[in-house]
Structure 1
Amino acid sequence: MANKDWSKVQPPLSKPVLNCINKHGFKTMTPIQAAVIPLLLSCKDVVAEAVTGSGKTLAFVVPMLEMLLKKKKDGPLRKDFVYVVIISPTRELATQIFKVIEDFLQEPELASTTLALLVGGRPIEVDAIALQKGADIAVCTPGRLEDLLSERKQLNLAGRLKELELLVLDEADRLLDLGFSGTLTTILQYLPRQRRTGLFSATQTKELQDLVRAGLRNPVVVSVKEKSTISTPLLLETYYVIVEAQDKFLFLLNFIRNRKIAKGLFFLPTCACVDYWTDVLPVFLPDIKIFGLHGKMKQKRHKILEKFRQADNTILLCTDLLARGLDIPEVEWVLQWEPPCQPSALVHRAGRAARGGARGCALLPLLTTEDAYVPFIKTNQMVELKDWRESDDQIKITDKLRERVLGILHEQQKKDRAIFDKGQRAFVSHMRAYTKHECNLLLQFKELPLGHIATSYGLLKLPLMPEIKPEHKQQFVGPKEEIDFNTIQYRDKQKETSRLQKLEEYKKSGVWPSKKKKKMVQTLPWEQAKQNKEERKEKRKKRKELKQKNPELKKGKKRKVITQEELDALAADVALIKKLKKRKITQDQFDREFEAD
């Protein structure tokens, strides 16, 4: 766009907002900012789509501040009203937006504006008190906002939203991916219709279009892309590499060692995988700070993310929780263990690098059975993956290196049973997650060499899974010596004492104490269980269609029709009982007449 200068926005921006923009070093507008800001300032509803890292946050923060300044000219803002609500899918992204707005409110003319962060992971009373003190702007997650809206007795948040001027749904497609569709529908019912709404997203989906129809009035759709052939930032280089299943960890380990990564993100399939590799990796990378973060960490998440932001020469192991909206400008490399469950998530993962005009790189290792994913992702998501093997940096994996790394992994698990348990859980959860890939026609679970993958994890033994076949057992490379797994101890003394007590009871009774006796149920492979579930779903669908075609089937069994004769007989019996109660007839007369009837 030609008009990228902040001073030329129409309608023009106020001096306090321009001062804030200049102080923070934003010299010119990005295309999405140049397109969206004038529309929101002109009281239009906006649906904005732009690649990750394109400056969507500022596109709604600037018009929001302008709107509040304009409203203050008409009179002071009321303490008991909320004028702006910004809904974000995760606590991390909500906190990030909160800090951006907080920095802008340092300007004297904006200092009186109150701001509240409403997210989960803490008592709801904390947020209720913050709102009661006054909050012109509320940055929140959908679940916490819904809880606060339902808390009517003391807070009455629905009443405080009567004067709402602006609603922002940030990363709206992610809000729907995380299952917040019903929550958003509930929230929208509480909000006044006369408001401005901004819906910001990196991708457009059918579910998103349904939300647009439900929550926006004649919106202007803005789609800004840096280049028509790709959907990732121009300065981002995305690579793939074909590796053998048993060598995936070795390749990634050497890849990290061979380059000095100041800040890197490493995306893993599940929370259990993050826990396991966070414990294991520091032994191999002593000079690099390793952090782990996933959605099941309720209280620690904010602290870990702050430590990662402040550290140098560090890697954060994480799940797709951090694939969206996270803004850490220094991220140089984004590494991935395997393709994400949703193809669109690849764009968001890679987009954590190359933000704000900086350069960045992303690497995706693929197994030999997954090579069709490269042309698929180019067609499906417009992401072109370059082959790392064509670069000058070649990584060789020798038998000596393989034995040494496996030996270290085995020793770590022998020294602490907790790591042994985490390794087992990580592998099982990883395999379960693989079966849920949306593009399972390309990434087929039955083609996975499970034994080789378990070898890459450095497991001491294969888990008990119905999916493990004899050929997988032949592929698996475990420790050379025989191991009595009952002798592996926990480093945690309390946990080890508890385990030994249970082990003694098990030797006496033959039943592990922590396990309740259950009926013997045949364990089915995941794919078979999934197929059975789909068959049941299809049967329910057919029954529903049949009932729609034949409405009489909805009524179920027809009740027997009661004749008039039976009704008359019943009435006569009731009259006879009343006569007996009123002592108009004797018991003998009642018995004779009742028996005659």
Structure 2
Amino acid sequence: MGDWENIFKFVSQLTINTIEDLGFQKPTPVQDACVPLLMSYKDVAAEAVTGSGKTLAFLVPVFELLSKSDMVWKRNEVGALIISPTRELAQQIYSVAEIFLKHFPNLSASIFTGGKSTKNANVKGEIFGNIVIGTPGRLEALFEQKFEGVELARCVKSLEILVLDEADRLLDMGFEASINTILSYIPKQRRTGLFSATQTDEVEKLIRAGLRNPVRVTIKEKSSRQAVSDEMLDIQRTPASLKNYFMIVKAEHKLDQLVYFIKSHKKQKILVFLSTCAGIYCIHGKMKNRKKVIERFRMQGGGVLVCTDVMARGIDIPNINWVIQYDPPTSATAFPQEQEFVDFIRVNQRVPLHPMEPLPTSNTCIQEVQTMAINDRAVFEKGMRAFVSFVQSYAKHENYMIFQMKNLDFGSLATGFGLIKFPKMPETKGKDISNFCEVAISVKDIQYIDKSLEKKRQEQLKSESSRRNNVDMKRKRHQKTESWSGKKDQKDRKRKRREVKEKKRLQPVVERDNGEDLLSLDEDIRMIKKLKKKKISKEQFDAEFSLDCDELSS
């Protein structure tokens, strides 16, 4: 199929105006290959690079299959389920689906991404649309519990097609359990389309578990021999029109290079990726207003959007001039930073990379950041959190053979973050930080510029000081009482020991004297009894007693 009119002949109700609304003029290879396969009721596992047009590759068949079905789709009857890794990508898919819905008034769509559902405005009162788009966690929750009195598990009994968009990303983000739960609720007699940028072992497992005899579609970009080494295949995983660069700089100069680069491209659109949300203010997974920020960035002619890898895949923002991977990427499938990782990406991921020389900067950004940290506690705390978060992310990197903690220069790294004090954390215990120069200032003296925050901090300091004083006073009283009580107990113990010792000393003498007296008395009584019974004579009795008297007198 050579053009859009041929590929869209499957969609009888779709006009050429809709194609123009979508902003496309001809089908891409992944669309050309996948649309006919899904339309002929085959399962498809497609691998294509980001930006290859996968969204239309599954939305066209979704609308055609549902519109041509013998079923009359009722309220809350789900015919298509599309699972996306992030709310931004789900919202983007829903936006494209809305253009199709203008030409299919008998169909409806809804989106579920963790908050309240967004329903097709043309279908008042819908809970679940005929096409449901959502993120795995939200959809799993809807399957396992009632939602406004309607169970999603009952609504998918007539499901025609399941789409797993950016499947490798779904698994990288830890949604495997949620996907398995969703698969357990939906009918096995269905069409399934799985789309991903890479075919990992985890994706292969998902293909075997969720697809039946799928047709595999692999769309690769061809590159010139000059972009790759002679040992490499003449195929790359990124679009041929995309040129990738890398720059090798010292840790303490990274920030200066970034700022200078941005200043040098003021009128262009730039995306900057950091490893964790602690290092940024703009776009990351904990934000609730990400959609508004992205839409605002889309509308602007130039600007900088700083984000984490929540924006790393599938989001369509037109006219992006530069994408900068500032920190080492969390996945080997993203863009590189360390020199060894550049070689790994070039060979293993088949991404051609070109060196870029460091820019002539004045290296003053670090001093400016340190001055800001001294004058504002918010900046000081932000820098400390960013450094700690970066080190922890680095320690857990999947490519630990390249990103090794023992090779990190923690002193230079802390300097590069504009820190004025080195934070205490387990990962840096015993590490050499001789390259780091702390600023001679007491941390307690650093105040917030925000008066309300500083007032709150001062109150907390007073409360903490008061609590500490109370604890110290209680400890002193306890020690004093314990000391007096201890001395008293010691005296009592000594007295008791003396009494016991004295008793033991006197006891043998008393027992010996009493014993002899008792023996003498018994003998006298025995002699008296003998005299009364006439067993002895009076002369014998007197002789016995006279002997005792003589002994006593002597």
* Common fold: TM-score over 0.5: yes
Cα-to-partner distance string for 1:427-468 (whole Å, 9 max, x where unaligned): 001001001111111121111111111111111111112444
Q: Are 1:140 and 2:108 counterparts?
A: no
1:523 counterpart residue number: none
1:269 counterpart residue number: 275
Aligned partners of 1:11 and 1:42 also within 8 Å: no
- What is the rounded CA distance, in whole Å, between the counterparts of 2:469 and 2:308 in structure 1? 36
1:86 counterpart residue number: 82
Match of 1:385 among 331, 346, 353: 353
The answer to which of 147-156 and 14-23 deviates more is 14-23
Cα-to-partner distance string for 1:213-263 (whole Å, 9 max, x where unaligned): 111111111011121421101111100111011111111111222223521
Q: What SS does the aligned partner of 2:291 have?
A: helix
Aligned partners of 1:452 and 1:472 also within 8 Å: no
2:485 counterpart residue number: none
Aligned partners of 1:175 and 1:181 also within 8 Å: yes
- What is the rounded CA distance, in whole Å, between the counterparts of 2:413 and 2:137 in structure 1? 37
- Offset of 1:139 from its aligned partner? 0.7
- What is the rounded CA distance, in whole Å, between the counterparts of 1:233 and 1:126 in structure 2? 34
Letter in 2 for 1:343: A
Cα-to-partner distance string for 1:480-532 (whole Å, 9 max, x where unaligned): xx21221211233333223212323444554999xxxxxxxxxxxxxxxxxxx
Cα-to-partner distance string for 1:273-317 (whole Å, 9 max, x where unaligned): 013xxxxxxxxxxxxxxxx110111x2211211222122321111
Match of 1:412 among 361, 372, 375: 372
Match of 2:460 among 478, 498, 502: 502
Aligned CA distance change for structure 1 residues 439 and 134 (closer, same or farther; 3 Å): closer
1:176 counterpart residue number: 171
Aligned partners of 1:119 and 1:144 also within 8 Å: yes
Aligned-residue CA RMSD (Å): 2.6
2:404 counterpart residue number: 444
Aligned partners of 2:22 and 2:96 also within 8 Å: no
1:225 counterpart residue number: 220
Q: Are 1:258 and 2:270 counterparts?
A: no
- What is the rounded CA distance, in whole Å, between the counterparts of 2:261 and 2:320 in structure 1? 16
- Offset of 1:111 from its aligned partner? 2.8
- What is the rounded CA distance, in whole Å, between the counterparts of 2:349 and 2:204 in structure 1? 18
- What is the rounded CA distance, in whole Å, between the counterparts of 2:436 and 2:181 in structure 1? 51
Q: What SS does the aligned partner of 1:345 have?
A: coil
Aligned CA distance change for structure 1 residues 183 and 126 (closer, same or farther; 3 Å): farther
Aligned CA distance change for structure 1 residues 425 and 185 (closer, same or farther; 3 Å): same
- What is the rounded CA distance, in whole Å, between the counterparts of 1:385 and 1:131 in structure 2? 52
Aligned CA distance change for structure 1 residues 506 and 156 (closer, same or farther; 3 Å): closer
2:517 counterpart residue number: none
Letter in 2 for 1:447: N
Unaligned runs of 5+ in 2: 223-233, 472-554
Letter in 1 for 2:284: H
- What is the rounded CA distance, in whole Å, between the counterparts of 2:29 and 2:293 in structure 1? 33
Q: What SS does the aligned partner of 2:301 have?
A: coil
Cα-to-partner distance string for 1:358-383 (whole Å, 9 max, x where unaligned): xxxxxx5x4xxx32222111121111
Letter in 2 for 1:489: Q
Map of 1:422-461 to 2, 5 A cutoff?
422-461=382-421
Structure ID, larger Rg: 2
1:32 counterpart residue number: 30
1:373 counterpart residue number: 341
Letter in 1 for 2:310: L
Aligned partners of 2:162 and 2:191 also within 8 Å: yes
- Offset of 1:418 from its aligned partner? 1.4
Letter in 2 for 1:217: R
1:307 counterpart residue number: 296
The answer to which of 143-152 and 405-414 deviates more is 405-414
Aligned CA distance change for structure 1 residues 12 and 502 (closer, same or farther; 3 Å): closer
Letter in 2 for 1:274: I
- What is the rounded CA distance, in whole Å, between the counterparts of 1:146 and 1:136 in structure 2? 18
2:102 counterpart residue number: 106
Letter in 2 for 1:93: L
Letter in 2 for 1:396: P
- What is the rounded CA distance, in whole Å, between the counterparts of 2:120 and 2:467 in structure 1? 50
Match of 1:188 among 171, 183, 193: 183
- Offset of 1:76 from its aligned partner? 3.4
Aligned partners of 1:506 and 1:512 also within 8 Å: no
- What is the rounded CA distance, in whole Å, between the counterparts of 1:5 and 1:511 in structure 2? 80
1:53 counterpart residue number: 51
- Offset of 1:477 from its aligned partner? 3.4
- What is the rounded CA distance, in whole Å, between the counterparts of 1:162 and 1:470 in structure 2? 60
Aligned partners of 1:165 and 1:195 also within 8 Å: yes
Letter in 1 for 2:213: N
Letter in 2 for 1:236: L
Q: What SS does the aligned partner of 2:163 have?
A: strand
- Offset of 1:80 from its aligned partner? 3.0
Letter in 2 for 1:383: V
- Offset of 1:152 from its aligned partner? 3.7
Letter in 2 for 1:112: N
Letter in 1 for 2:286: K
The answer to which of 411-420 and 34-43 deviates more is 411-420
2:242 counterpart residue number: 236
Aligned CA distance change for structure 1 residues 188 and 79 (closer, same or farther; 3 Å): same
1:350 counterpart residue number: none
Aligned CA distance change for structure 1 residues 243 and 45 (closer, same or farther; 3 Å): same
The TM-score with structure 2 as length reference comes to 0.78
Aligned partners of 1:17 and 1:66 also within 8 Å: no
Aligned CA distance change for structure 1 residues 201 and 485 (closer, same or farther; 3 Å): same
Q: Are 1:163 and 2:127 counterparts?
A: no
Cα-to-partner distance string for 1:183-228 (whole Å, 9 max, x where unaligned): 1111111111111110000001111111111111111110111214
- Offset of 1:24 from its aligned partner? 3.0
Q: Are 1:493 and 2:487 counterparts?
A: no
Unaligned runs of 5+ in 1: 276-291, 347-363, 514-597
Aligned partners of 2:331 and 2:398 also within 8 Å: yes
Map of 1:517-536 to 2, 5 A cutoff?
none
- Offset of 1:265 from its aligned partner? 0.6
Match of 2:308 among 308, 319, 332: 319
- What is the rounded CA distance, in whole Å, between the counterparts of 1:222 and 1:485 in structure 2? 59
- Offset of 1:123 from its aligned partner? 8.1
- Residue identity over aligned pairs, in percent, reads 44
The answer to which of 438-447 and 54-63 deviates more is 438-447
Report the count of equivalent residues.
458
- Offset of 1:5 from its aligned partner? 1.5
- Offset of 1:12 from its aligned partner? 4.0
1:336 counterpart residue number: 325
Match of 2:360 among 385, 393, 396: 396
- What is the rounded CA distance, in whole Å, between the counterparts of 2:443 and 2:416 in structure 1? 20
Cα-to-partner distance string for 1:89-135 (whole Å, 9 max, x where unaligned): 1101000000011122223xx133211011103489999x9884451
Q: What SS does the aligned partner of 2:434 have?
A: helix
- What is the rounded CA distance, in whole Å, between the counterparts of 1:512 and 1:250 in structure 2? 48
Q: What SS does the aligned partner of 2:14 have?
A: helix
The answer to which of 161-170 and 466-475 deviates more is 466-475
- What is the rounded CA distance, in whole Å, between the counterparts of 2:470 and 2:365 in structure 1? 34
Aligned partners of 2:44 and 2:215 also within 8 Å: yes
Q: What SS does the aligned partner of 1:237 have?
A: coil
Q: What SS does the aligned partner of 1:212 have?
A: helix
